[in-house]
Amino acid sequence: MPRYDANDDSVVLIVGSGAGGGTLANELCRKGLKVVLLEAGQRQSPATFRNEEWFAFNQLAWLDKRTTSGTWRIAKDFPNLPAWICKTVGGTTVHWAGASLRLQEHEFQARTHYSGITGANLIDWPLTLAELEPYYAKAENKMGVTRTNDIPGLPGNNNFKVMYNGAIRAGYKTVHTGRMAINSRPRDGRSACWQLGFCFQGCKSGAKWSTLYTEIPAAEATGKLDLRTESMALQIQHDDRGRATGVLYADKDGNHQFQKSRIVCVAANSIETPRLLLNSHSTMFPHGLANSSGQVGRNYMRHTTGSVFGVFKQPVHMYRGTVMAGIIQDEARYDPSRGFAGGFELETISLGLPFAAAFLNPGAWGEDYTNLLEGYPNMAGMWIVGEDLPQETNAVTLHPSEKDQYGLPIPNVHYDDHPNDLAMRTYAFKRGAAVYDAVGATRTVEVPPYPSTHNLGTCRQSAKASDGVCNKWGQTHDVKNLFISDGSQFSSSAAENPTLTIVSLAIRQADYIADQCSKREL
Amino acid sequence: MRRREFLKAGALVVAGTAAAASGVATIADAAAGKPELTTLRPHQGETLLAMTRRIFPHKQLDDAPYWNVVRDIDTAAKSDSSVAKLIAEGIESLDAQGRRFIELAEKEQTIALKRIETTAFFQKVRSIELQTLYSDPSVWKVLGYQGPAYKYGGYIHRGFDDLAWLPNPPESASPKPA
Ligand SMILES: Cc1cc2nc3c(=O)[nH]c(=O)nc-3n(C[C@H](O)[C@H](O)[C@H](O)COP(=O)(O)OP(=O)(O)OC[C@H]3O[C@@H](n4cnc5c(N)ncnc54)[C@H](O)[C@@H]3O)c2cc1C
Ligand code: SF4
């Protein structure tokens, strides 16, 4: 592995090795560019993962302190854990479940379709589905998404059998084992899914795509990648022309280092990405880097979520096999007659007993709750993921007084549920319960949102510089050689799980960067 | 079950039946899971046992997994004096409501806990219990969770799709395994 000189200003510096950053690094290395990849976390591997929920959480999750505010229930249930994301090589692709769906055409035009909703700060993406389609195809091939590229779907587990039968009886039509970045057959040097059921804890069989053991080793094999683990980016610096010059970071031992670079790409997930930009304020950029619009950190989206669990007379053993084992897609359509803009997907979910106890009703105790938990073997579960609307006041901001271990202000995440989100959640809870009732549930429970696994929109793409932070390539409007390379770019959240889109955008961004470099535009 | 307790240098040592004393615990011996406490006093241990039984009451479980929770509270108190203080003061105030907490009937204990459920003391005990109790393989066995699957090769050959009380979905929705 090369170690580029701190003064080598020909490198591309990427912050974060997850879905966005890990993919971008590989794509750029394969085009022959020199890449320094800074990752705050340590490097694990399938060998060091463990099938234990709390152990894995402590091993992999981002646990640096954050605060919350707003009307969302997270602020009450998990005041210091707004998001469930990773600090490790591979980022949150280590924890993710693998659901890989394309956004729908109308979802790229949120303003056009949903306009006139009070309190929503809607814009259209500066990008269309047609423009992204070739990159979706590349991403699906790279990630080995089932039901694409002639890859068969995964076999459905017990949790899916309950969902399928209930869904059909409740009148749904599009119900199957999903499009998953999990091998149903051996592919790309990785095995087929063993149906372990610990997708959220790091896949020990390697069947599930993660940048940790796909993109990053591929980038290393080019000889172009300089991956620096346990290296926390603290500040992006710039020259007096307003061009980024490199990144100040804290290394393993806490020493400050400065790495020069030609281009800086930030893929630190939607809380740390705006935080890094805000913490990079200077005399020239008093409100933070690339923030002339004031939109850095704003329009934070986390999807309208919630879960429905059903308890049955007979065993289900939902924890056996893939966590997201199937999907109902009928409600993802555009249909304002339901009383809300946007749609939602219903996807199976399972939790092991340790997490079930923690999440089924956060804070609950006593006999009623233990009665519910005693139904654990007979439980089936599904997760709602729906489009939430951007609101300018839903924002990641710097805490006025609290600092982290590096002496930098910690982030506060503010989120108020929009009436549209509440209407969708109420409706989706009812539909989910109807699915389980149709196959004889003795009890259904509505489970409030988990800490956010999907974090989006805080440095969004916009056609006009005043509406957002970056253009349709992820290049910031204000600083030409500064790119946003993760889910922060999303102009709207759409109903689909975001990672396939993050990866597609990263592949597309790599093409653009390479092209601009060859034309000496960057 | 007769239990005799000796206090030794702040540590609680239990001498139960001859079997337990000789290290051969029997299932009938409810004191078998009782830990040696390093920081908590015996009364605090007993109170926490009763409290943790009321917070997540599972009739099928004996005291052993709840004692494991008390052990973890003890460890937390040992490594952080502010936790020790929180626990000590919490128990004192629980006991200061007329009778001592452990002397109350189960129903009354639940009512007493309801009154303090928003306190830092209650939250601390609940959160340690939540993690310890439901991560305990002996509890998994009773509640029907099979735990780590990797060493057994996952569930691909161990019943991931063995549910038989509903029809199988068609292959278009759910293809056969490889
Ligand atoms: C339990 C769970 C299940 C999920 N399931 C799905 C699913 O089925 N489908 C789907 O599409 N999505 C899913 N997701 C979401 C998915 O994981 C994320 O959308 C995706 O990983 C985000 O990619 P990213 O590049 O934006 O950030 P991440 O993948 O989170 O990567 C960011 C990286 O940046 C690093 N970093 C942050 N700040 C700094 C800094 N200052 N310096 C250096 N490094 C830094 C972090 O340590 C991290 O490694 C799931 C998430 C979770 C938690
Ligand atoms: S169920 Fe499949 S994808 Fe999930 S952890 Fe197991 S082997 Fe990996």
- The Cα B95–Cα B104 span in angstroms is 10
Cβ count near A199 (within 10 Å): 22
Residue A115 has pLDDT above 90, yes or no: no
Q: What is the largest CA-CA distance in chain B?
A: 69
Question: Which residues in chain B have their CB less than 8 angstroms from residue A165's CB?
Answer: 166-167, 169
What integer best gives the mean pLDDT of chain A? Answer: 97
Phi, psi of A427 (to 5 degrees): -65, -45
8 Å CB contact between A214 and A91 = no
- DSSP track, A236-294: EEE-TTS-EEEEEEE-TTS-EEEEE-SEEEE-SHHHHHHHHHHHT--SSSTT-TT-TTS
Q: What is the DSSP letter of A412?
A: E
- Global pTM value: 0.94
Amino acid letter for position B127: S
Residue A425 has pLDDT above 90, yes or no: yes
A-chain residues near B148 (CB < 8 A): 50-52, 198
Q: Do A365 and B176 touch (CB under 8 A)?
A: no
Q: Do B163 and A162 touch (CB under 8 A)?
A: yes
What is residue B98's predicted lDDT score, i.e. its pLDDT? Answer: 85
How many angstroms separate the CA atoms of A262 and A247, rounded? 11
User: pLDDT tens digit string along A219-258?
Assistant: 999 999 999 999 999 999 999 999 999 999 999 999 999 9
Which one, of A184, A198, A159, A25, lies nearest residue A100 by Cα? A184
Looking at chain A, the whole-number percentage of residues with pLDDT higher than 90 is: 99
Paired tokens of B35 = 């830990």
ipTM of the complex: 0.91
∠ CA A50-A55-A61, nearest 5°, is: 105
A146, closest residue in chain B (CA to CA): B175
Q: Which among A50, A57, A317 is the top mutation candidate for probing chain B, defined by the most B β-carbons within 10 Å of its own β-carbon? A: A317
The pLDDT assigned to B178 comes to 86
The residue that leads in pLDDT, A237 or B28, is A237
* Protein residue whose Cα sits closest to atom 46 of ligand 1: A87
B106-115 vs B42-55: helix axis angle to the nearest 10? Answer: 90
Q: What is the pLDDT of residues B76-127, one digit of tens each?
A: 999 999 999 999 999 999 999 889 999 999 999 999 999 999 999 999 999 9
CA of A384 to the centre of ligand 2 (A): 21
Q: Which of A7, A18, A518 is nearest to A267 (CA)?
A: A18
| pLDDT above 50 (res A178) | yes
What is the pLDDT at residue A1?
87
Distance from CA of B111 to the nearest CA of A (A): 10
Q: Rg of chain B's alpha carbons, rounded to an integer? A: 21
What is each CA distance from A153 to A231, A244, A495, in whole angstroms?
Answer: 39, 45, 21
Q: Which residues of A touch B158 (CB under 8 A)?
A: 320
Contact B140 A198 (CB under 8 A): no
Nearest CA to ligand 2 atom 2: A193
Q: Is residue B134 helix, strand or coil? A: coil
Q: How confident is the model at residue B31 (pLDDT cuts 50, 70, 90)?
A: low
Atom 9 of ligand 1, nearest CA residue: A99
Write out the DSSP string of A5-59: -TT-TTSEEEE--SHHHHHHHHHHHHTT--EEEE-SSB---TTT--S-HHHHHHH
A-chain CB neighbours of B166 within 8 Å are 161-162, 165, 439
Range A9-14 average pLDDT: 98
Q: Which atom of ligand 1 is nearest to the CA of A16?
A: 34
Alpha carbon distance B46, B50 (integer Å): 6
User: What are the CA-CA distances from residue A45 to residues A23, A205, A226 (Å)?
Assistant: 18, 10, 18
Q: Give the type of residue at A460.
A: R
pLDDT of amino acid B97: 83
Average pLDDT over residues A107-111: 97
CA distances from B139 to B68, B71, B85, B124, B142 (A): 11, 16, 29, 21, 5
Instruction: Report yes or no: B169 and A165 within 8 Å, Cβ to Cβ.
Output: yes
Whether residues A50 and B148 touch (CB distance < 8 A) is answered with yes
Comparing CA positions, the residue from B134, B69, B58, B107 lying closest to residue A371 is B58
Look at A204 and B150 and tell me if their CB atoms are within 8 Å: yes
Q: Helices (H), strands (E): how many in chain B?
A: 7, 2
Mutate which of A43, A87, A92, A193 for ligand 1? The one with the most ligand atoms within 8 Å of its CB, which is A92
pLDDT at B15: 32
Q: Is the pLDDT of residue B16 over 50?
A: no
**Residues B121-136: tens digit of each pLDDT:** 999 999 999 999 999 9
pLDDT digits (tens, 9 = 90+) for A311-331: 999 999 999 999 999 999 999
User: Taking each helix axis from N to C terminus, what angle separates B120-133 and B63-79, rounded to the nearest 10 degrees?
Assistant: 120
> Distance from the CA of A371 to the center of ligand 1, in angstroms?
35
**Rounded to the nearest 5°, which phi and psi values hold at A301?**
-125, 150
For residues A346 and A435, give the distance between their C-alpha atoms in angstroms, rounded to a whole number. Answer: 10
Chain B positions touching A169 (Cβ under 8 A) are: none
Nearest ligand atom owner, CA of A474: 1
Hey, are the CB atoms on A365 and B55 less than 8 Å from each other? Answer: yes
How much distance in Å is there from the Cα of A136 to the middle of ligand 1? 19
Q: Which residue has the higher pLDDT, B9 or A85?
A: A85
C-beta atoms of B160 and A205 within 8 A: no
Minimum-distance ligand to the CA of A301? 1
Query: CB-CB: which of B117, B150, B162 is closest to A158?
Result: B162
Question: Hey, is B103 helix, strand or coil?
Answer: helix
Distance from CA of A185 to the nearest CA of B (A): 6
pLDDT in tens, A369-405: 999 999 999 999 999 999 999 999 999 999 999 999 9
Give the distance from residue A59's alpha carbon to the nearest chain B alpha carbon, in angstroms: 15
B33 band by pLDDT with thresholds 50, 70 and 90:
confident
Strand partners, A382: A308, A348
CA-CA-CA-CA torsion sign (A445, A449, A451, A455): positive
Report the separation in Å between the CA atom of A173 and the middle of ligand 2, taken as the mean of its atom positions: 27
Which atom of ligand 2 lies at the shortest distance from residue A202's CA? Answer: 5
Domain boundaries, chain B: 30-162
Find the ligand nearest to A234 CA. 1
| Local confidence band at B6 (pLDDT 50, 70, 90 cut-offs) | very low
